[in-house]
Amino acid sequence: MIDPERIPVIVGVGQINDRPADPGDGLDPLGLMAAALRLADADAGGGWLADLDSLAIVDQISFRDLGDLSAPLADSLGARPRICEKTRIASGDSPILLLNEAANRIGAGEIRIAAIAGGEALRTAAQRAAAARGTDVSAQNASRAASTRRTPSYRQRYGLTAPVDVYPLYENAGRAAYGQSLDEAQAESAEIWSRFSEVAAANPGAWLRKPVSPETVRTPTAENRPIAHPYTKLMVANSSVNQGAGFLVTSLGEARRRGVPEEKLVYVGQGAAAHEADDPLGRDRYDRSPGMIVSLQRALAVNRLTSADLDFVELYSCFPCVPKMARRVIDWPVDRPATVFGGLTFGGGPIGNYMSHAVVGMVEALRAEGRFGLLFANGGFATHNHSIILGREPVPGAVHPGEFAFQDEADAMRGAVPRTVEDYEGPATIETYTVLYERDGAPKQGVIVARTPNGDRTLAMISGKDAAAMAFLTDGIAEPVGSAGDITIDSDGWQVWQTSPA
């Protein structure tokens, strides 16, 4: 029999949406995290924060000048934890990584009580920056700015700068690999996102609480402008939010001693993580992710569960390609919601902390009904993958501490990574692509990821003013992936794509 002192459970969850009329009245990330953890403490019956052994937070980007907020957060809560830390970066997998580490420390007897939290106030930060500069709020883009602080790399020079530029490479390659037409692929994305909106509409913690139809999701309009082909605004993460979330993890023994009702306990299973190369051009392919596959499959296997055992899932949803790839790994039907919180468009996309809100949503869902739920997190440029199981009852195969790094398996699954060649001229085929758009909906440029005859990878651009080329890439009449063309270098040194005549 497993010692109750070594069984990790979640006992309290809390989250906050901050919508001040005056940006000056808005909470910063420290205030959001503190408010969320006080709500989690109350949810767990109170009296937990002063006894924290561990406090771990997700890095934030909205108020960078505040630095590491873990110690100030501890002070604001009246806590003196032995472990006080933040994640290295603001990555979408961060909350699940921190949950996994806390569960392992409890299982090893190293700590009794852990708090995990995160918060982003990008809406307030953008409003304040716009007021200070006398510009429009829409001109503030923290995620893109964070991606271009260094000298632009080869891919960045061609427009593959922020996540919204890179994830469409997976979307378009995946569509071709699945044998879907553009219309079929967009219909799948729109159905998944419409169901996200329905979940968000019923969730008091979500940022946008209005259900939208699949047709509304997929149809470009002035309010739903195209962002990067084939994504519209309603298909991408909504980072313009002020949100905080946190949760408390302890041992089953400690929870019982403090009188937490059994019906409020949610058991933490084992997790599984695997990653892709940091450079998106250093991937073996774009129609699947070995790191994602291993993370999801291993999370089920180590906990001795199958997808049929899952009552709920949260499949990370910064962009449609992620839950579309993930649902195929676990065979999750398109007509079942792939979220318990509402997704990053409607629930809210607070950069690295979305999955803390998903933990809150999963705990609340399992308290109400069901037995097991899967949380799948993704971060970076489809880079970081971390999955974990939560259960209304003890998770069958869970062992704590347990190994969660399965990188060797992902690496073994990965094919050869093609060499990236700059300044290439000659024949090539389209491996994947996207079209980037201006704010008024006009195409800015096409970006081609191409393969040369000897298998090397290279990039090329197409002017947004080339109407025929833009139509070829976006109208869905023919499949661009796999089509042939030529790359030339223009007088300014840019590699330019020209499609071969049919």
Number of domains composing the chain: 1
Q: What is the CATH number of the domain that holds 434?
A: 2.40.50.840
pLDDT band with cut points at 50, 70 and 90 for residue 476: very high
User: What percent of the chain has a predicted confidence (pLDDT) above 70?
Assistant: 97
DSSP state of 187: H
**Which is nearest to 384 in space by CA: 86, 170, 85, 97?**
97
**Which is nearest to 161 in space by CA: 74, 280, 31?**
280
For the record, the structure tokens of 277 come out as: 């190369």
Which helix (H) or strand (E) covers residue 330, if one does?
Answer: helix 321-330
For the record, the structure tokens of 16 come out as: 């906050």
pLDDT digits (tens, 9 = 90+) for 127-182: 988 888 877 766 555 554 555 456 899 999 999 999 999 999 999 999 999 999 99
pLDDT digits (tens, 9 = 90+) for 185-235: 999 999 999 999 999 999 999 999 999 999 999 999 999 999 999 999 999
Would you say residue 14 has pLDDT above 90? yes
- Give the model's pLDDT for residue 137: 62
- By the 8 A CB rule, do 421 and 458 touch? yes
- By the 8 A CB rule, do 482 and 429 touch? yes
- Give the model's pLDDT for residue 479: 98
Alpha carbon dihedral 196, 198, 200, 204, in 10-degree steps, equals -160
- Give the model's pLDDT for residue 263: 97
The gap between the terminal CA atoms of the chain, to the nearest Å, is 69
Question: Is 466 contained in some domain?
Answer: yes
**Which is nearest to 229 in space by CA: 184, 187, 170, 284?**
170
> Which of 23-32, 430-439, 467-476 has the weakest average pLDDT?
23-32
Question: Three-state SS across 143-180?
Answer: HHHHHCCCCCCHHHHCCCCCHHHHHHHHHHHHHHHHCC
**Which is nearest to 64 in space by CA: 45, 90, 26?**
90
- By the 8 A CB rule, do 260 and 146 touch? no
- Average pLDDT estimate for 269-285: 98
Question: Is 485 contained in some domain?
Answer: yes
**Which is nearest to 6 in space by CA: 79, 116, 104?**
104
In angstroms, the CA 391 to CA 269 distance is 7
Compute the 3-state secondary structure of the chain and give helix, strand, coil in percent, each to the nearest 5: 40, 25, 40
Question: Is 440 contained in some domain?
Answer: yes
The label of the residue with tokens 């960045």 reads 156
The residues that bridge with 117 in the sheet, in sequence order, are 57, 246
pLDDT digits (tens, 9 = 90+) for 376-395: 999 999 999 999 999 999 99
- By the 8 A CB rule, do 364 and 245 touch? no
- By the 8 A CB rule, do 406 and 272 touch? yes
Question: Is 494 contained in some domain?
Answer: yes
In angstroms, the CA 482 to CA 178 distance is 14
Would you say residue 97 has pLDDT above 90? yes
pLDDT digits (tens, 9 = 90+) for 279-322: 999 999 999 999 999 999 999 999 999 999 999 999 999 999 99
Would you say residue 461 has pLDDT above 90? yes
The label of the residue with tokens 């049919």 reads 502
Mean pLDDT of the chain: 96
Pairing of strands 266-275, 8-17: antiparallel
Residue 69 dihedral angles phi and psi, to the nearest 5°: -95, 5
CB 419: neighbour CB atoms within 10 A? 13
Question: Is 431 contained in some domain?
Answer: yes
Question: Is 267 contained in some domain?
Answer: no
**Which residue stretches of 51-181 are H helix?**
70-77, 94-107, 122-133, 142-147, 154-157, 163-178
Would you say residue 70 has pLDDT above 60? yes
Question: Is 278 contained in some domain?
Answer: no
Which helix (H) or strand (E) covers residue 319, if one does?
Answer: none
DSSP string for residues in 342-407: -IIIII---GGGHHHHHHHHHHHHHHHS-SEEEEEEEETTTTEEEEEEEESS--TT--SS---B-H
Question: Is 432 contained in some domain?
Answer: yes
pLDDT band with cut points at 50, 70 and 90 for residue 22: confident
Distance of CA 46 to the CA centre of its chain: 31
Burial of 246 (0-12, 13-18, 19+ CB in 10 A): buried
Rg, Å, the chain Cα set: 23
Q: Which domain holds residue 472?
A: 426-499
CB 309: neighbour CB atoms within 10 A? 16
C-alpha neighbours within 13 Å on the C-beta side of residue 126 = 18
Angle at 385 between CA 119 and CA 356, to 5 degrees: 25
- Give the model's pLDDT for residue 149: 54
3-state class of 66 per DSSP?
A: helix
The residues that bridge with 389 in the sheet, in sequence order, are 374
- Give the model's pLDDT for residue 139: 55
